[in-house]
Structure 1
Amino acid sequence: MSSPAATETLPAATPAAAHIFTTVLSHGPLTRLEVARRAGLSAAAVTKAVRPLIESGYLVEEADTGAGAHTEVRPALGRPATLVRVDGGRALFIGVKLTGDEIIGVLTDLCCRILLARRVPLAGRDPEAVLATAADLVRELLTEADGYGVRVAGLGIAVAGDVDRAEGVVRYSPFLEWRDVPLAGLAAAVTGLPVTVDNDVRALTVAEQWFGAGVGLSDFAVVTVGAGIGCGLVVHGRVVAGAHGVAGEIGHVTVDPNGPPCHCGNRGCVEAIAADAAILARIRETGGTEVAGTAEAVDRARHGDTDAREAYARAGEAIGRGIATVANLLGPARVIISGEGLAAYDLFAEQIREAFTAAAFGSAAQCDVRTRPLPFEEWARGAAATAIQCFITAPN
């Protein structure tokens, strides 16, 4: 197995250099002029920052063939421009997404392209048991990384709930039933890797900002539906966690003061109405019959069951109001709806749109609301993206 020791750091000694590298990572290959324009820096600053990154092999130069992803208009005459791009094979990263039932792990390159993906079931939710299973999965991925001949430079772990990324502590995770678990320290001790722990939706938002539907947008949101209702926010180009790490918790925005109780202690939260468990509870309450699970609920609704259809319509209205709250407060250019709950999107899409349009104020209704189904491997990729983010910004 590869040694997990990771002493090398990216030679990006200043915030400007880290910003330049991230710009090339998200938008490259680019000419230096285009890097300067996108990063809002001078050409001299770009040249100074790029030189050590090229010398260390993290950036490479190549001739512009006109087939790159950049958008700069090139002159028709003269020498071809030189592009810079990130060498994705220069370092590897592991991303892990924890759910209440299984662990999903991915091995990615520096450009966050998934090279390998693995899933393992969880036998229990005790932190020690989960950590042992996760450590075995990480060791397996480290062994697989041997074949690439490149070190693994970091591990990212994504967990639903209240996560203090700065301290690496899971303050509260409802699905794992954890409180105040120092996950980053524990994981680092058993894997030997630098570890980043973050809320799973925020991690997914980082991946969407750098590599997905949020590329090029300074303000957008990711709303996830399924077992819970989550939201990641990007404001002025930065993923926002807030002073206490819980920014974006639209799942706990009250949309019906007389609604059902939520596990957070309030009533009528979006999550208490629109999460999978809430939908099942509503069908049982109104129909008086047991529902085995989400798959059965979806099947009933699609076959015309009145109680199931009403539960999903009610969920859609709550989600639409929650999204409108985000649009009214922050005015994002785009809201991306994702999560495992999209499997039933046809059952509440109309209600989401109608409730959003009714509740969005003025031009906030112009927000581009779109769906983006993403498997849990993409959430694990988001965890890897947070590890890459820390690698880029780590002090030398």
Structure 2
Amino acid sequence: MQPIRAGSKALIREINAALVLGRLRTQPLQSRTDLARHTGLSLPTISEIVAELLGSGLIEERATGRSGGGRRPVLLALKPDAGYVVGIKLTETRVIAVLTDLEATIVAQDVTAVPDASVEAVVDAVAAAVARVRVAARDRPVYGVGVGMAGVVDRARGVVRHATYSDWHDVDLADLLIARTGLPVALDNDVNTLVANEKWFGAGRGVDDVAVVSIGRGVGLGLVLDGRLYRGATGGAGEFGHTKVIIDGPECACGGRGCLEALIGEPALRAQASTVLGRTVDLDEAATVARQGNAEVREIFRAAGRLLGTAVGNLVNLLNPKLVVLAGEGTRVSDLLRAEFDLALSLAVFDGLQHDLETVVDTWDDEAWAQGAAGLFLGELFQPNLRPDEAGRPSLTARKAVPAAE
């Protein structure tokens, strides 16, 4: 574990400023008295921090609140356009980019084709996409770039240990992108960006224990445990699709057999439906045939729902989340899975753990994944630099943090 910076007035100030900014980020329109009450800081300390944040342009006075007698309190809020962040979702063939303000509201977006899966082609495409969307920031600072991609990602080092859909191993992608864009880069598994979006803007708001299961070409998992995003020891947590559910089952792209992904991922469902129908179909056509009453194709989706429900039930038994979210592009066929999923989940969950468990389906698009990547970067931007090795990391609370602008 990295050592914490030695205690100092500067560090205490950064932590206190982070408390204030964090409160205003999640609960805008707070008075100075409100901030003191919710952060535990004294009113003089709050007044000093607020004065500094107003002077830096990060927050603003927006309105006056009701008074219980005497002077009406001035309400404060984050100034959304005080700066911007770029969010990137990497797919096999495209770079989806968004520019968001400090409240993660999307103000510009771009889609760039990736000609091949080489590292060079991906870096070129990301750099081009970043350059296009950051134009919308005009003269305001762009603090950095959040990038989400499928694979095992060492978040702390910015290294792709293994890319799911290309032959990448131990690629220092963050450093390559920093060199090309001139901006700080935060790299993470793409499902974690989806979790960030769910936690801050979706069904997971205010919930401390959330499991987000993404379904589509692959099957992924993102976790919020006790209010914190859980990545595992080396960033590899969440390879839910490679849990083995059938011994000696079909071969998976990972080289193993019987993986959940090899049975219910989009390629598997397409192949099963094509075999039944005697012709090649995509997932949407297979779903249409099932909805029109083809019993054999419908059973393919029902079986997938049962397998997924059982696997998620085992997950609930291990982690006891309060909320399970099904997300990703595969949710467009969730109507064909849901009944069997719910039944299998109820049968698999240990007695008592299903109490108060909520399961929802959220149909996020690629833009939402990119917005989540921006949100992950924002989450770090609002934190103080607690360790000596973080001195150069962008932080809105550090006096010497200099945003990267055009």
Do Structure 1 and Structure 2 share a fold, with TM-score over 0.5? yes
Aligned with residue 108 of structure 1, among 100, 109, 115: 100
Q: Provide, for residues 283-315 of structure 1, a one-character-per-residue CA deviation record: whole Å limited to 9, x for no partner.
A: 345x27242322222222222233322221121
The answer to whether the Cα contact below 8 Å between 2:273 and 2:281 also exists between their aligned partners in 1 is no
Q: Could you say which residue in structure 1 is the equivalent of 2:317?
A: 328
Question: Which amino acid in 2 is paired with 1:111?
Answer: E
Is the contact made by 1:205 and 1:222 (CA closer than 8 Å) also made in structure 2? yes
Is 1:219 the counterpart of 2:209? The answer is yes
Following superposition, the deviation at residue 142 of structure 1 comes to 2.1
User: Per the alignment, in what secondary structure is the counterpart of residue 352 of structure 2?
Assistant: helix
Q: State which of 157, 165, 171 in structure 2 corresponds to 1:181.
A: 171
Match of 1:118 among 110, 118, 126: 110
**Structure 1 vs Structure 2 CA RMSD:** 2.4
Taking structure 1 as reference, are residues 278 and 86 closer, same or farther at Cα in structure 2, changes over 3 Å only?
same
Match of 2:24 in 1: 24
Corresponding position of 1:5: none
2:247 corresponding residue in structure 1: 257
Alignment of 1:49-88 (within 5 A): 49-65=49-65, 79-88=71-80
Distance, in Å, in 2 between the alignment partners of 1:353 and 1:253 is: 20
Distance 1:257 1:153 in 2: 48
Q: Distance in 1 between matches of 2:49 and 2:309?
A: 44
SS at match of 1:193: coil
Matches within 5 A, 1:304-319: 304-319=293-308
Structure 2 length normalisation: TM-score? 0.85
Count of aligned pairs between the two proteins: 374
The 8 Å contact of residues 33 and 43 in structure 1, kept in 2 or not, is answered as: no
Say which of 141, 145, 150 aligns to 2:133. 141
Aligned-partner SS, 1:369: strand
Partner SS state of residue 362, structure 1: coil
Give the structure 2 partner of residue 276 of structure 1: 266
Q: Percent identity?
A: 35
Structure 1 length-normalised TM: 0.87
Cα gap change, 1:327 to 1:348, in 2 (>3 Å): same
How far apart are 1:177 and its partner, in Å?
3.5
Q: What does residue 233 of structure 1 align with?
A: 223
SS in 2 for 1:363: coil
Instruction: State the shift of 1:244 in Å.
Output: 1.8
Are positions 1:388 and 2:378 aligned together? yes
Instruction: Tell me the distance in 1 between the aligned counterparts of 2:96 and 2:174.
Output: 17
Tell me, in whole angstroms, the C-alpha distance in 1 between the residues paired with 2:187 and 2:378: 12
AA paired with 1:348?
Answer: L
Equivalent residues of 2:114, 2:125 under 8 A apart: yes
Instruction: Give the counterpart of 2:326 among 333, 337, 342.
Output: 337
Whichever residue aligns with residue 305 of structure 1, its letter is: N
State the alpha-carbon separation in 1 of the partners of residues 316 and 154 from structure 2. 25
Per-residue CA deviation, residues 241-296 of structure 1 (Å, 9 max, x unaligned), is 111212233222223334322223333322122210121233345x2724232222
Q: Unpaired segments of 5 or more residues in structure 1?
A: 1-10, 66-73
Conserved? CA contact 2:213–2:220, under 8 Å: yes
Give the distance between the partners of 2:59 and 2:12, measured in 1 at CA.
11
The answer for the alignment partner of 2:335 in structure 1 is: 346
Shift in Å, 1:130: 1.4
- 1:290-342 Cα deviation digits (max 9, x unpaired): 42322222222222233322221121112212322332222222112111111
* Residue 290 to residue 167, structure 1, CA distance change in 2 (3 Å): farther
Q: 1:303 is matched with which residue: 283, 287, 292?
A: 292
Partner SS state of residue 371, structure 2: helix
User: Could you tell which deviates more after superposition, 272-281 or 344-353?
Assistant: 272-281
Partner SS for 1:298: helix
Distance 1:145 1:269 in 2: 44
Which position in structure 2 is the counterpart of 1:68?
none
Residues 203, 385 of structure 1: 8 Å contact kept: yes
Cα distance in structure 2, aligned partners of 1:43 and 1:261? 61
Q: Do the aligned partners of residues 15 and 359 (structure 1) sit closer, same or farther apart at CA in structure 2, a change above 3 Å counting?
A: farther
In structure 2, how many angstroms separate the alpha carbons of the residues matched to 1:351 and 1:123? Answer: 40
Query: Which residue identity lines up with residue 381 of structure 1 in the other structure?
Result: Q
Q: Aligned partners of 2:296, 2:20: CA distance in 1, in Å? A: 54
CA contact (8 A) 1:206 1:382 kept: yes
Of the three residues 166, 181, 191, the one matched with 1:201 is 191
Gaps of 5+ in 2: 1-10, 386-397, 399-406
One-letter code aligned to 1:253: T
Per-residue displacement from partner, 1:37-81 (whole Å, max 9, x unpaired)?
A: 655x3445655654432332212233345xxxxxxxx77655444
- Report the Cα distance in structure 1 between the residues aligned to 2:373 and 2:46, rounded to whole angstroms: 28
Give the counterpart letter for 1:96 in structure 2.
Answer: I
Q: Which amino acid aligns with 1:250?
A: F
The answer (yes or no) to whether the contact 1:96–1:105 under 8 Å persists in 2 is yes
> In the alignment, is residue 370 of structure 1 matched against residue 360 of structure 2?
yes
Equivalent of 2:181 in 184, 191, 205:
191
Task: Write the deviation string for residues 67-121 of structure 1: whole angstroms up to 9, x where unpaired.
Answer: xxxxxxx776554443322111000111110001211110110110000111122
> Residues of 2 paired with 1:389 and 1:359: CA distance?
35
